[in-house]
Amino acid sequence: MELFGKTEKSARTVLAVDGNRTNLGVIGRRLGHMGYLTALSDNGPEALGLIAGRGFDVVLIDMALPGMPGVRVLQEIRGALETADLPVIMLTGRSDPAAAVQALAAGADDHVAKPFDFDVLAARIERVVARARRIAELKRANQALDARIATRAMELGEAKVELAETRADRQRLIASIQALNDQVERLGAEG
């Protein structure tokens, strides 16, 4: 694995996966110059190991990887709970619409045909990363809301128990008052 780019915490981390080492070198250098911290892999199994070992903001995968096709790598990523929402952009040398359809149907967040303009690629990276962050924020908000709902449900259950106890106490008090009233009436009738 080679790393290119800034090592600042704010830099986006990109894993580029391409079977062609020359292409990888170009991608790594160009994205590095654009401020991305880029890791490189030339095969699917290694890429999956890198993904499992550290978090990336986005993964770029060539569809035509040797051994394990890019679509299969994408399916592995989507199949794992920890990486199911990881942004993935598929790269391909094919410019036909079928390649884009295949990539998107497999779960890619975007598709870019080679040769590509790096400014366009950077814009697509930023878009899928921003969308992934919004989705993560929504998931966190939903989890917080679910926790609040669970807390409120428990509080409601406790309030229902207290209400039932209060009603039972009230009924006992009414019965006791009624018994006292009956006793007072009997004493008044005797006297």
| pLDDT tens figures, 6-19 | 444 457 899 999 99
Sheet containing 37-41: give its strands across.
Answer: 3-4, 37-41, 13-17, 58-62, 88-92, 110-113
The answer to the question of residue 154 being in a domain is no
**What is the pLDDT, as a whole number, of residue 5?**
52
The answer to the question of residue 25 being in a domain is yes
What confidence category does residue 2 fall into, taking pLDDT thresholds of 50, 70 and 90? Answer: low
The answer to the question of residue 147 being in a domain is no
Distance (Å, whole) CA 41 – CA 32: 15
**What is the pLDDT, as a whole number, of residue 24?**
92
Task: Report the pLDDT averaged over residues 137-148.
Answer: 90
The answer to the question of residue 77 being in a domain is yes
The answer to the question of residue 89 being in a domain is yes
N- to C-terminal Cα distance for the chain?
Answer: 105
Tell me what the pLDDT averaged over the chain comes to: 88
Closest CA to 136 of 87, 89, 74: 87
The structure's pTM equals 0.72
- Split into its structural domains, the chain has a count of 1
**What is the pLDDT, as a whole number, of residue 10?**
59
**Non-local CB neighbours of 21 within 8 Å, separated by 6+ positions:** 42
Structural domain boundaries, residue 64? 3-142
What confidence category does residue 191 fall into, taking pLDDT thresholds of 50, 70 and 90? Answer: low
CATH of the domain at 42: 3.40.50.2300
**What is the pLDDT, as a whole number, of residue 25?**
93
The answer to the question of residue 161 being in a domain is no
**Cβ count within 10 A of residue 131:** 14
The answer to the question of residue 191 being in a domain is no
